[in-house]
Copies of this chain bind each other. A is one copy, B any other.
């Protein structure tokens, strides 16, 4: 039903080859001819069939994006960034949601791999081994995960946690609780490292309360243990957990930030709207998506690796809001 290159050729009175060249290599065809072709093309509303082109050029002009769970407010932001950057380069995006399931993730990747030029895997749940395997077969860029030899854009988690700790220490806190995320999580590991290093440097106490689900419920579950540590501040694995903490603390009549300061990391939209508004470390989520696309597009240009940078690290920014305040007993220690 849509116009083909032949229709345009016939209407312009030239051969299909000329149409193809007029559109993609404008300088090699006679300006008069080109004008005629152009006119014919947009009188028919012609646009080349990407699939057909892909067959011969080996490039589809499509990329794939896999995320663990769109219901987690972190990921839509990343998707949006990928989207925005992709349309700028006239690239279409396949989206897949693995539902936090590593096996499903692999399946989606396999299904997508054949019809895209490259893949962006955001916070992949698969093992390093599997990811390396995938990276050998396809062009891959990781977001929020680092694997030997695979291009990636990551957040500086260590620095982010340091920002949080610096902030709390400046407010006079000397004993800080930590609500950890899933043990298997790459970012949990790195956040923890940054945290330990920061508290060590400041010579303040750390009270870890274990691993929890990275959800609102996880935060609710962790709250009582946090209270039991007698810390005056708590840093949560992420904002969702922090908001869960806020809810449970309120229910128990513990005042934030007067009795306890709460700090998260991510800065999802919800954090601004929490009560009290959540102090957190803003991670440039959309930017990570944009950057991943740029990395991927770069990979596709020069086939020779090494010519372009394969790593990008994004920095967080402390957003001081109402959930953090001076330590309760800092006036009379």
Contacts and interface: CB of A to CB of B under 8 A. Distances in A.
Contact of A115 (B50, B70, B77, B95): B50
A228 interface: no
A257 to B, nearest CB: 15
A152 B70 CA distance: 23
A243 B1 CA distance: 48
Contact of A52 (B55, B111, B247, B270): B55
A158 B217 CA distance: 33
A108 B87 contact: yes
Interface stretch (A31-39, A78-86, A167-175, A198-206): A78-86
A84 B111 contact: no
Size category of the binding interface on chain A? 35 or more
Contacts of A62: 94, 115
Nearest to A83: B97
B76 A71 contact: yes
A28 to B, nearest CB: 25
Interface in A32-84: 47, 49-52, 54-55, 60, 62, 65, 70-71, 73, 75-77, 79-80, 83-84
Given A49-B114, A95-B93, A71 B77 contact: yes
A216 interface: yes
Interface string A1-40: 1100000000000000000000000000000000000000
A97 B50 CA distance: 20
Nearest to A90: B111
Contacts of A84: 97, 99
Given A83-B96, A84-B97, 4 more contacts: A70-B83, A83-B97, A87-B96, A250-B275
7 contacts: A71-B76, A71-B80, A76-B76, A84-B97, A87-B96, A90-B111, A216-B273
